[in-house]
Amino acid sequence: GAVVSQHPSWVICKSGTSVKIECRSLDFQATTMFWYRQFPKQSLMLMATSNEGSKATYEQGVEKDKFLINHASLTLSTLTVTSAHPEDSSFYICSADSGKGQPQHFGDGTRLSIL
């Protein structure tokens, strides 16, 4: 089946640093990738939609300058949390869409802890 690899699975860093999370579709080309954020025992909240070769579309309330999304190829999208602060600590999940009528495939998520 289709596989989406998300890296790193867990990262701890100091407040003020930037953190990059990668989302790769390993065996298919992803025309669109989605980035979600999930707080403990809560639902997934869509942050942005990333289309290959174009600017990401951010959901209302998500700071585009804070959460930089790049989708430079059909198999890779990255989310960079800039100048991270403790309130950015969360679980971030990506999903990839092949655009062929199949359901999205989710990565295993990244647990981000900002000290």
What is the binding site for other proteins (CB under 8 A)? 32, 34, 38, 41-46, 49, 91, 93, 95, 97-99, 101-104, 106, 108-109
Q: Cβ of residue 83: shortest distance to other proteins, in angstroms?
A: 26
Q: Cβ of residue 110: shortest distance to other proteins, in angstroms?
A: 10
Measured in whole angstroms, the distance separating CA 87 from the mean position of its chain's CA atoms is 17
Q: Which is nearer to other proteins, 3 or 115 (CB)?
A: 3
Q: Cβ of residue 69: shortest distance to other proteins, in angstroms?
A: 14
User: What are the residues whose beta carbons fall under 8 Å from the beta carbon of 86, sequence distance 6 or more?
Assistant: 15, 114, 115
For the four alpha carbons of 78, 79, 81 and 87, in that order, the dihedral sign comes to negative
Q: Which is nearer to other proteins, 31 or 80 (CB)?
A: 31
How many CB atoms are closer than 10 A to CB 37? Answer: 21
Q: Cβ of residue 42: shortest distance to other proteins, in angstroms?
A: 7
Which tokens sit at 24? 């790769």
Contact indicator for 111, 81 with CB cutoff of 8 Å: no
Q: Which is nearer to other proteins, 8 or 16 (CB)?
A: 8
